[in-house]
Amino acid sequence: MALRDTLPLLPSLMAISCGVALSLGCMTGCADPAEPDAEPDMGAAESDILGGRADARTAPAVGSLVRIFPMANGEGYESFCTATLIAPKVVLTAKHCTLQANGKWGFATGAYATTDIVTGRGPDRFVAAERAEEESTITGGDGLGLGSDVALVHLEHAITDIKPLAIDALVDQDVGKTFTAIGYGVREGGSSGQRRSATVLLEARKGKVLPPLVSFIDYDRASGGDAAANRAAYEHIALLDGYEAVTGPDATGARLCSGDSGGPLLATRARKLRVVGVASYVLGTPTDPCVFGTVYATFGPAARAMIDRALR
C-alpha cells in the first residue's frame, strides 16, 4: 500500500505507509554580512532537535518559514518549517512546506522563530514571501510521493546583512561521513521554534531507505504486530534515484522531527559550509515517528536547474 493510499497527501500530517511512520514539517542597521561558514557551535548541550543543541551561531542564513497570527499588541509568528537563504531574495526549503503555506507567511531569522505570547520573544526579523516556486518535473517517490521535494521562496525584499549559503552536490564518497543539520522543529517536551543543530551520518544515496538505518530484527521489535506486514514495510520505501539521500543518527543520537522539514543538510567543502540537501521526511514507527532517520531531498539535475535559474 502506498503512502497516498492511506491518507490524503498532506505533508503536515503524519502518514503511515505499510506500517512505516513518515512525517516532517507537521509531519532573522547596515552591518557587515554575517559569516555563515563558522564550524558548528558545540557549546550548550541542551536537549533539542531530539538530541542536538541550541545553536544561534552556525550558518546565520538558516531561518524558518513562519505564519503570522494576531496578538493583542500586534502580530506574532509561528514556525512551520526550516529554510535557508541562498540569495538575498531567495530561500531554499522543501516543496511540501510551500504547498502547505497559507495566509500571510514568510521567512524569519534568529534564535527563535515562534513568538512567545507571554514574553514576546520571537524572530530577529521577518520578510514576507512574494511567491513560492516548486520543482515539478520530477514525479513519484515512495515517501511523500511528491517527486523532487525541493522548493524556493522568493522574498518581497532582499536581506543584505546575512551572507547566503551556496549549494553543492552529494557524491558517493560522502556516504559514511557526518554532516550538520539545523532546524526549528520539535524537541524533547514537545516545544518547537528554537534554532537547533546536530550532526547526522549519511547512510545512503540510493537503494532502500530502512536497511541502512536499522536491522529488520530491531525494526520488527520496535514496530510490533505482524512480522510479514513489517517485512513488507521494511522493504517498501526506496530513495528517488538522484534526488534523495538518507541520514541516520551518529554517535550523538540526535534526530530530526516535526518542524525541521526544509532544513539544510550542511557539508564542509574547502572549509566553507554548503547546503547539500533539504529535510524531506523522517522514518519511524507509529509510536515513535522520528526514531530511525531522515530522508533529504538532494539537488538532482532538475532541482539544480531550477535553483540556478533563480540565482542568475
Condensed to tens digits (0 to 9), the pLDDT of residues 124-150 reads: 999 999 999 999 999 999 889 999 999
For 113-124, how does the pLDDT look when each residue is reduced to its tens digit (9 = 90+)?
Answer: 989 888 888 999
Q: What is the pTM of this model?
A: 0.83
Query: Buried b vs exposed e over 269-308: b needs ≥16 C-beta within 10 Å?
Result: eeeebbbbbbbbbbbbbeeebbbbbbbbbbbbebbbebbe
Q: Which residues contact 49 (CB under 8 A, 6 or more apart)?
A: 181, 183, 185, 187, 196, 197, 198, 254, 255, 256, 257, 260
d(CA 223, CA 234): 10
CB distance 75 to 106 below 8 Å: no
Length of the chain: 312
The answer as to CATH 2.40.10.10 being correct for domain 3-27+46-311 is yes
Specify the amino acid at residue 261.
S
User: For 221-239, how does the pLDDT look when each residue is reduced to its tens digit (9 = 90+)?
Assistant: 999 999 999 999 899 899 9
- Are 149 and 11 within 8 A, CB to CB? no
Answer yes or no: are the C-beta atoms of 220 and 211 closer than 8 Å. no
**For residue 159, what is its C-alpha cell?**
536581506
